[in-house]
Amino acid sequence: MIAECPVHRNRVYGVLAKAWADRKDFQVNEVEENLYAISFHSESDLMYVLENAPWSVGGFLFNVKRWDLRMSLAEIDFSLESYWIQVHGLDFDELTYNSAVTIGSSLEILIKAENPIVNNVLFRGFLR
């Protein structure tokens, strides 16, 4: 977790238990200050958490990575995280999938852009 101060394991667990309420049993173990190992009983729960990142605990980034147990913690790259971004304040004619792709691509690596138009109707007044 990237935080300016230590965040206690119980707080981390409490926040994640609410955010992951539909997930089955999981455990949070503190490895060192602001570094936690999370164990899931289900591969599908793990995939849900990985695919729906980023996560926040107390306003701090909670960077979740899959840990191959053959690797040491020092070998895990925590330097990158995916973010959903929203772009507001565009003119209506700029609220297109192509605009979302163009803007997203300029930010480094675009993973996914959503089309704000669904069934020929503008679904929302911003891009993400």
pLDDT digits (tens, 9 = 90+) for 43-98: 999 999 998 888 999 999 999 999 888 999 889 988 888 878 899 999 999 999 99
pLDDT digits (tens, 9 = 90+) for 30-39: 999 999 999 9
Contact between 13 and 26 under an 8 Å Cβ cutoff? The reply is no
Tokens of 42: 């289900």
Domain check: are 14 and 39 in the same one?
yes
pLDDT higher than threshold 80 for residue 24:
no
How many independent structural domains does the chain possess? 2
- What's the pLDDT at 79? 83
| 95: containing domain | 82-128
Domain check: are 91 and 64 in the same one?
no
Instruction: Return the CA Rg of the chain.
Output: 18
Domain check: are 14 and 57 in the same one?
yes
User: Which has the closest alpha carbon to 121: 95, 103, 98, 101?
Assistant: 95
Domain boundary among 21, 42, 68: 68
- What's the pLDDT at 33? 93
Average pLDDT for 8-12: 95
User: Which has the closest alpha carbon to 87: 68, 105, 61?
Assistant: 105
Domain membership flag for residue 94? yes
**Helical residues (DSSP H) of the chain, grouped into ranges:** 9-19, 43-51, 97-105
